[in-house]
Amino acid sequence: MTIADGWPTAARASAAARVDDGALPPVLHPLLAARWSPTTFDPSYEVTAAEVDAILEAARWAPSAGNSQPWAFITGRRSDPIHARLTRHLTGSSAAWAPSASLLVANLCHRYVEDTDWEYSEFAHYDLGQAVAHMTLQAQALGLHAGSLGPSTAPLWRQSSRCHSTGKSRR
Ligand SMILES: Cc1cc2nc3c(=O)[nH]c(=O)nc-3n(C[C@H](O)[C@H](O)[C@H](O)COP(=O)(O)O)c2cc1C
């Protein structure tokens, strides 16, 4: 993730211009219009703890089937050992660009009831996707950019001592 200079004012102006050009439907929110997947990041930018908290909070408020909140996230800020650990599991082209991101987040979902092959929620992957979309837009609202990359098969969940579950209180 990196700070985009002048955002969100510039992004809003850019989206407005594209709407005027007829390139975008007028109903598209500027946050959505300005979202794109970067593959280069500002290597000098250090994401703050408050920004990480805000991004996780956005996931916490995502909808989920039966309010099951099947997600959990491992976060690693650059210069943090977790970032280096996540970086070691990157594969393919993302291994070249993702390490420069100021924050890496491994997105996990609770698929099975512990020690059984019973599904915890048949919508777990769907719900995780929604939570990640929330995080992406929250990052965008903070003037950061978020990109997704392919999965790691490493058993990071069991290995990490810093796993954030963002479940909100059940209503
Ligand atoms: C689950 C997922 C995995 C992705 N993996 C990669 C990846 O490994 N490398 C990459 O360069 N882009 C990756 N992307 C980004 C997509 O290629 C990108 O979203 C798509 O081309 C549309 O571009 P946009 O996001 O800029 O609109 C991924 C996107 C998603 C949602």
Q: Which of 69, 39, 45, 90 lies closest to 134 in space, CA to CA?
A: 69
Distance CA 145, CA 29 (A): 16
Residue 140 lies in a domain: yes
- The protein residue whose alpha carbon is closest to atom 19 in ligand 1 is 37
pLDDT of residue 120: 94
- In tens, the pLDDT along 23-60 reads 766 789 999 999 999 989 999 999 999 999 999 999 99
Pocket test for ligand 1, best of 32, 149, 152, 153 (most atoms within 8 A of CB): 149
Nearest atom within ligand 1 for CA of residue 97: 11
- Give burial (CB, 10 Å; 0-12/13-18/19+) of 34: buried
Tally of domains in the chain: 1
**39 Cβ inside 6 Å of ligand 1:** yes
Return the CATH number at 78. 3.40.109.10
The more confidently predicted of residues 144 and 14 is 144
* Geometric angle at alpha carbon 125, from 38 and 104, rounded to 5°: 35
Question: Residue 17 above 80 pLDDT?
Answer: no
Residue 109 lies in a domain: yes
Contact 163, 73 (CB under 8 A): yes
Contact 107, 130 (CB under 8 A): no
pLDDT of residue 157: 47
- The protein residue whose alpha carbon is closest to atom 6 in ligand 1 is 149
Residue 41 sits at φ, ψ, to 5 deg, of -135, 155
- Residue 20: band (very low, low, confident or very high) from pLDDT cuts 50, 70, 90: confident
The parent domain of residue 70 ranges over: 9-164
**37 Cβ inside 6 Å of ligand 1:** yes
